[in-house]
Amino acid sequence: MAKIPTVFSLRHCFVVSLALNFSLILRMMYEREQGCKGAFWKKQSESSMAEVDSNHLMHKSHLAVSSSSPLVNSTRTDHPKVAERVINLDHGDPIMYEHFWRQMGDKTTIIIPGWQSMSYFSDLSSICWFLEPEFAKEVVRLHNVVGNAVTEGRHVVVGTGSSQLFLAALYALSPPDAAEPISVLSAAPYYSSYPVMTDYQKSGLYKWAGEAESFDKEGPYIELVTSPNNPDGYVRHSVVNRTRGFLVHDLAYYWPQYTPISSPANNDLTLFTVSKSTGHAGMRIGWALVKDKEVARKMTKFIELNTIGVSKDSQLRAAKVLKAVSDSCEEEGSSQEAESFFKYSYNIMEHRWKQLRVAVQRSGMFSLPTFSPAFCTFFSQVLEPHPAFVWLKCEGDIEDCERFLRGHKILTRSGVQFGVDPKYVRVSMLDTDENFIHFIDRLSAIHP
């Protein structure tokens, strides 16, 4: 192989070395420049994010509701982004209560070790064998503190929300050997989910029979009595009143923030739920107070077949929350500075209803129910009801109120789903402060 001359090799190596060094110097200069730019843009980005976070916190702080002062409109509907925003008040999601529970801090925090709540069984001595004793104790205590239900001589049955307990009650009250399904009915406007839940599984035991006022069929029946009523907020009593009838009282809203507590409910079968009493809808916990032992046993059997019991973790958390509510009521009585959960909630509901009535009057296109004040044994004074939902009616030529409000980007639930005229809609009063303020502003701006 021919040997490359040494002079030639050294000269070329020197040129290559210069090129590499020059390239390296250029690269270092480029990276330094980009690094400076990156640091600058990172600093700018962090500054912008901090400003956004600050504005967000200021906005949230401005919207925070004090129970001692009314809501203040912080964002006007003439702002382009707000004007285009869809306000969904179709569901009764009780987010309104979040502020109170944030203030409670660790009072309702629980820690559940990995070994706890592993068994299916909670209390084998109870008819409802999956009922956590701590939860049952706090249920009884809360009713005694509020005075809204008789607990003595009642069996507590826990369910995954009052929806499961509703179906369990239908199962327990239906004659097992009847020639046809038992009729299930309720006075209109009735809760919109009653017909759907009753007929969803096409059970051979029970069947939705419609409006109670027009029920004329002979034989046994199950009448659903919701009081205060969902959707219109009025106090309800049974309508049919025949000897072969069974009554299921749904008292989800029989709490001091919604209606005056007149006396302890003394019924054969009464349904309650954590979602509307304390606002913890996500726990999916409800309970029934059942007088008849055999009915309680059949309801327990339904839940056993349906879900093999109810989450112990949810029951333990619910017990902690109910305890905090009862504690707040007792502490309020011993300290002027303390404020009970129900007083806090009542004040917010009162302010919201006042703002709503002003908005409806200003618009002139809607009407609201009127409620008679009554003495509340819990607050020891005469108070007006402030229901969790607004039963709003569109006046004039508007035939479909739900459709009309949807055109103004307000989502509601049509009266048709409650068995009545489409001129009515149900509107949730339990949403966030921000959504409620936007709703009030937008409603006020609607004119003939």
Q: Which domains does the chain have, with CATH numbers?
A: 61-99+340-445 (3.90.1150.10), 118-331 (3.40.640.10)
d(CA 342, CA 338): 12
pLDDT of residue 408: 97
Q: Looking at the DSSP assignment, which residues form a beta bridge with residue 207?
A: 183
Asked if 278 contacts 269 with a C-beta cutoff of 8 angstroms, the reply is no
pLDDT digit string (tens) for the chain, length 448 residues: 334 344 445 444 444 455 445 454 445 544 444 444 344 334 343 443 333 333 333 333 333 333 344 443 334 444 556 678 999 999 999 999 999 999 999 999 999 999 999 999 999 999 999 999 999 999 999 999 999 999 999 999 999 999 999 999 999 999 999 999 999 999 999 999 999 999 999 999 999 999 999 999 999 999 999 999 999 999 999 999 998 999 999 999 999 999 999 999 999 999 999 999 999 999 999 999 999 999 999 999 999 999 999 999 999 999 999 999 999 999 986 766 678 999 999 999 999 999 999 999 999 999 999 999 999 999 999 999 999 999 999 999 999 999 999 999 999 999 999 999 999 999 999 999 999 999 999 999 999 8
pLDDT of residue 335: 66
pLDDT of residue 290: 98
Question: Which residue carries 């969904």 as its tokens?
Answer: 88
In a 13 Å sphere around the CA of 435, the CA atoms on its Cβ side amount to 20
Q: Looking at the DSSP assignment, which residues form a beta bridge with residue 383?
A: 374
Asked if 405 contacts 443 with a C-beta cutoff of 8 angstroms, the reply is no
pLDDT of residue 150: 98
pLDDT of residue 33: 47
pTM over 0.75: yes
Asked if 438 contacts 85 with a C-beta cutoff of 8 angstroms, the reply is yes
Asked if 249 contacts 271 with a C-beta cutoff of 8 angstroms, the reply is yes
pLDDT of residue 84: 81
Handedness of CA 433, 436, 442, 443 (dihedral sign): negative
Asked if 263 contacts 276 with a C-beta cutoff of 8 angstroms, the reply is no
d(CA 291, CA 269): 6
Q: What is the DSSP string of 225-246?
A: EESS-TTT------SS--TTEE
Greatest CA separation found in the chain? Answer: 122
Quick one: how far is CA 89 from the chain centroid?
11
Asked if 256 contacts 127 with a C-beta cutoff of 8 angstroms, the reply is no
Asked if 216 contacts 190 with a C-beta cutoff of 8 angstroms, the reply is no
Which residues have CB under 8 Å from 270's CB, separation 6+? 149, 249, 250, 251, 288, 289
Quick one: how far is CA 437 from the chain centroid?
18
pLDDT of residue 1: 39
Q: Which two tokens stand for residue 416?
A: 């048709």
Q: What is the DSSP string of 409-431?
A: TEE-EEGGGGTS-TTEEEEES-S
pLDDT of residue 375: 98
* CA-to-CA dists, residue 218 to 23, 213, 240, 361, angstroms: 99, 14, 11, 46
Question: Which residue carries 């007083």 as its tokens?
Answer: 343
pLDDT of residue 404: 98
Asked if 385 contacts 260 with a C-beta cutoff of 8 angstroms, the reply is yes
* Main-chain phi, psi angles of 212, to 5 degrees: -70, -35
* CA-to-CA dists, residue 59 to 279, 428, 436, angstroms: 23, 23, 15
